[in-house]
Structure 1
Amino acid sequence: MGYARPRPKRLAEKLLQIRNALGLSQTDLWRRLGVEDEISHKLISKYELDQNEPPLKVLLQYARVAGVHTEALIDDNLDLPYKLPGDVRHEEIKRKYIPRGKKR
């Protein structure tokens, strides 16, 4: 038996932020994501309420629609850009570099 992987704590909040920033209803977002054949539009609400976690393909579509890196959705330490959709080509993710083998 394995261990459950940790879930991003802020994912639901970020998904709701994307929809609100784009001014879309849940059904409109579902269509914009282009996942009509893969998930029910009712799952958008469950994602935003943190009742379900979207599959990777749906997360990728969220990132594309929002113009952000998927890392910005998944990493709880990163915030979404103030203005959405963002421009993923110019977005810079700042991280502290820690060489391998060295302790913090």
Structure 2
Amino acid sequence: MLLDRTAFVSALSPESGDKESFTTFSGFMFAGTQSAAIRVNIQPASPELTAISEGEVFKTYKAFTTASGVIEGMLLTVSGTNELFRVRGREAFGYGAGQHYELTLVKSNPNGA
């Protein structure tokens, strides 16, 4: 599997009172070292996946990764381009040594607009 991009993962964390913010999630292990980055391959979603996931055309993507800790609601920030994606769905495929995860992503605006 060609994992051609590096993405940093953020998860919602409670602050004080009713506030929450995204903070870097560093629970991934690579070569015995804890890391906040994962290797990922991101592609535009098919029309079928866009319709099934109730996504928007040109904003819905499919990603492949071998990192098991990515779950719905997390944010992926792609290194180098600073593209921001919200994880909308996750499906695991366990094929022995080829185990991987397919993520449904929605491209987000980093300014929140």
Name the TM-score class by shorter chain. under 0.3
Higher-Rg member (1/2)? 1
Hey, which of these two has a bigger chunk of helix by percent?
1
**TM-score of the aligned structures, taking structure 1 as reference length:** 0.26
TM-score (norm 2): 0.25
Report the structure, 1 or 2, having the larger strand content: 2
